[in-house]
Amino acid sequence: MKEYSGYDTKMNGQLIDDLRRTKNANTLYVTHYYFALNDRQDLIFYYNPQHYWDRRPINQIDKNVWDYLEHEAAIFMNFDPDKESSSKAIHNKTSHSTFFPETPKIGNHYSCLGSRIVSHHRHYYFLGDYGGCLKLNTKELTDYDITNLLQWAVMTKTPHYIKSISELKCFKTPIKSNSHTIIGAVIGDVIGSVFEWNNIKTTDFNLFNPKCDFTDDTVLTIAVTDCILDKKDFAKTIWEYGRKYRGRGYGGNFRNWLQEDNLKPYGSYGNGSAMRASAVGFAFDDLETVLQFAKQTAEVTHNHPEGIKGAQATATAIFLARQGKSKQEIRDYITSTFNYNLDFTLNEIRPTYNFDVTCQGSVPQAIVAFLESSDFENAIRLAISIGGDSDTIACITGGIASAYYKHISTEILDFVVDKLPNEYIEIMNKFDEQYDRKRMANA
């Protein structure tokens, strides 16, 4: 797989030249992120009109890629850049307030003229010399617009941060549309990621912040899931995932542990043990086994009694929710078994709740967020709304809510999955196939 490293006339083709070469036999796809040219032999990607980015032989392109391009892109057959456009009239465009590079309220991906054409969130904004601005959905681009794009537009900077086209959404393995196991915990982490150091004390916030990303909560949730699926060693696998996916917000003690070869626990009672335990609650069919495995996942690092208890309480709540227990039954069992005080409301604690990374200071709050919720999305919003260690609290809440409500909107799934490595999606799909017994029984 080739990584783009700069314009090279010997190695990289120009889109306009390739269009001329194939004008009687090409299909041009235009998205917010890139151009893609099917020349009947290869599918060639360009992140702007001049720079070749990557190519794949047609016979190596999976059906889901074609489906994605069909759904997302403006499509032009046998496009000839030298032919006079058939649609010069400005149609389907709507007026939009003017904006400029120094005040990038819409986006910061500007053309080589500074403020001529902008691509942002499935739309193009055409800025005229007179200061006006016209908005056009990507799917509604005309051949006249494409001629302008080929001449002026620089596409979004996204490919600068993608090492391979395989990381693009259309090349990823799609998540199961009815997935509702560990994806709930991952969703909580990703959506909560932007609020960990920027707490918010309300449920009224943008669920789909473009800055959202997966953190250590997701990395280690996937690590534990991988262990359960393939019966791997917990300490070694968690250590390997942590070293492979560096810089994801690990705690100081855990970072130090990743530097060691002798993998001994360090007596932690931090909520890192609870955030990674969701797969245990989904995988096993009796509570004794859930408690046993939750302890094993925790004690490789968090061998303090409170660290183990946090993991066990999280996995147990998920197990009970998956078994169809009522919220009151879940509340009573967690209270009596783990001696957690759940006799408070989020409204009571929200004004004064502060950052607390201990299990005893965040797991009960995460469970109450689930208990007060009305659906999955509301559970995530409630968990984030109290502040504190937002991504981890939402991760714990998300796992329980996923097990209880058994429904997550496609919009949320698509947003979060788009942030994940393909490896994670494949592991989650494999886990769902093996352990989501209710779904398999009803299939």
Whether residue 28 contacts residue 79, with contact meaning beta carbons closer than 8 Å, is answered with yes
- The conformational region for residue 284 under phi > 0 = left, psi -120 to 50 = alpha, else beta, is beta
pLDDT, residue 97, reads 64
User: How far from 339 is each of 97, 309, 329, 335, CA to CA, in Å?
Assistant: 57, 10, 15, 5
pLDDT, residue 106, reads 37
Whether residue 382 contacts residue 373, with contact meaning beta carbons closer than 8 Å, is answered with yes
Distance of alpha carbon 29 from alpha carbon 36, whole angstroms: 5
Q: Kindly report the number of other CB atoms within 10 A of residue 404's CB atom.
A: 26
- Can you give the pTM of this predicted structure? 0.72
pLDDT, residue 154, reads 56
pLDDT tens digits, residue range 343-374?
A: 999 999 999 999 999 999 999 999 999 999 99
Tokens of 16: 């306009």
pLDDT, residue 107, reads 39
pLDDT, residue 7, reads 46
pLDDT tens digits, residue range 247-289?
A: 999 999 999 999 998 899 999 999 999 999 999 999 999 999 9
Distance of alpha carbon 349 from alpha carbon 74, whole angstroms: 50
Tell me, what amino acid is at 122?
Answer: R
430 CB-contact burial (10 Å; exposed 0-12 / middle 13-18 / buried 19+):
middle
pLDDT, residue 440, reads 46
pLDDT, residue 159, reads 53
Sequence ranges of the binding site for Mg(2+): 215-217, 389, 391-392
Give CA angle at 207 (401, 101), nearest 5°.
160
Report the DSSP pairing between strands 133-137 and 94-95.
Answer: antiparallel
Q: Which domains does the chain have, with CATH numbers?
A: 15-85 (no CATH), 173-442 (1.10.4080.10)
Rounded to 5 degrees, φ, ψ at 117 are -140, 135
pLDDT, residue 6, reads 43
Tell me, what amino acid is at 190?
Answer: V
Which parts of the chain register pLDDT below 70?
1-12, 88-94, 96-116, 118-121, 127-132, 152-164, 166-167, 177, 437-443
Distance of alpha carbon 4 from alpha carbon 8, whole angstroms: 10
Sequence ranges of the binding site: 215-217, 389, 391-392
Distance of alpha carbon 200 from alpha carbon 385, whole angstroms: 6
pLDDT, residue 88, reads 62
Distance of alpha carbon 34 from alpha carbon 56, whole angstroms: 15
33 CB-contact burial (10 Å; exposed 0-12 / middle 13-18 / buried 19+):
buried
Q: Kindly report the number of other CB atoms within 10 A of residue 341's CB atom.
A: 9
pLDDT, residue 300, reads 98
Whether residue 133 contacts residue 125, with contact meaning beta carbons closer than 8 Å, is answered with yes
Look-up of token digits 């051949």: 143
Look-up of token digits 């299909």: 27
SS (H, E, C) the chain: CCCCCCCCCCCCCCHHHHHHHCCCCCEEEECCCCEEEECCCEEEEECCCCCEEEEEEHHHCCHHHHHHHHHHCEEEECCCCCCCCCCCCCCCCEECCCCECCECCCCCCECCCCCCEEEECCEEEEECCCCCEEEEEHHHCCHHHHHHHHHHCCCCCHHHHCCCHHHCHHHCCCCCCCCCCCHHHHHHHHHHHHHCCCCCCCCCCCCCCCCCCCCHHHHHHHHHHHHHHHCCCHHHHHHHHHHHCCCCCCCHHHHHHHCCCCCCCCCCCECHHHHCCHHHHHHCCCHHHHHHHHHHHHHCCCCCHHHHHHHHHHHHHHHHHHCCCCHHHHHHHHHHHHCCCCCCCHHHHCCCCCCCCECCCCHHHHHHHHHHCCCHHHHHHHHHHCCCCHHHHHHHHHHHHHHHHCCCCHHHHHHHHCCCCHHHHHHHHHHHHHHCHHHHHHC
Distance of alpha carbon 135 from alpha carbon 121, whole angstroms: 11
